[in-house]
Amino acid sequence: MRCKLQTPSLWHQLVAASTDDETWPLGSVRWQDHRMGQRLADKVALVTGSTRGIGRAIATRFAREGAAVVVTGRTETTGHAVQEEIRAAGGEATYVRADIGREADVEHAIAAAVQRYGGLTTLVNNAAPTDLVGPGRGDRSLADITDDAWDAIMTVGLKQLVWCTRHAAAHLAAADGASIVNISSAAAMRGVPGIDAYTAAKGAMNALTRSLAVELAGDGVRVNAIVCGMVLTSEGAFKMMDHPVIGPATRALHLTRLGLPDDIANVALFLASDEAAFVTGVNLPADGGALAKMAVPDISAADLQLD
């Protein structure tokens, strides 16, 4: 069965058996229906911020590959919906309500995972302060951002990663084939105006990924990050792509189409699996080639006389 996303208002629905590229605003985007596999058999994965977007895609993908998945997030209705979606497909999942901006909730979620499944092999630090980043939201240039907004973004964007890793480390060290996958952004690798707190948090995440890989290597825990390009995770993202300036400029940054949550889930699956046993300390781009391209025109084609 082939599946394809249809219209921006139905961004989250995969409509089976569609082959009409005209209904999809980003060009041809199709992928195979993922059948149950065993690439993560015997793994227990906790995915932060997994009630929607990239986190949800990772949780469901991991479950399809045999992992027991702990779904976390603040919204109970969507958390239970993801849990039941996974179970209905034959997978194993448990939703634990957690506000990742509170260390006590982080500690509780990890303890619940260990109690429910007897251990923890995989931690995906996906939660991000997306509700504070974007037009009209809290993130700003350094000259304009408030201290409260900066602290809130840093807590959810970076400090929670410290909490998650701190409370999960001993359990991961006790497991075979353990790993941490951090979800970062290409915004950390290029200068981006107006979202200074977010880019600082993701840049620190990239640096911490390398440090933790070294620090936890002796315990057999691998640590990697996925550096994401523009991924369409919400209706708000589609609205930005409809903007007459933001949309074309963002598309022009990528060598391929824009990303979908499943694209990041597939990379996370590889990094969490034993197939990546020789991979650690890597900030791996999954960005449609955005980091490979400089924002300059083809100067060889310019109608100029230089001599």
**Distance between CA atoms of 58 and 182, rounded to whole angstroms?**
12
Residues serving a catalytic function are 198
Scanning the structure block, which residue is given the tokens 């209904």? 23
Residue type at position 96:
V
* Alpha-carbon span 241 to 31, nearest angstrom: 22
Judged by DSSP in three states, 283 sits in strand
Nearest to 159 by CA among 197, 215, 193: 197
Comparing CA positions, the residue from 286, 285, 274, 263 lying closest to residue 222 is: 274
* DSSP type of residue 156: I
- CA 215 – CA 209 distance, rounded (Å): 10
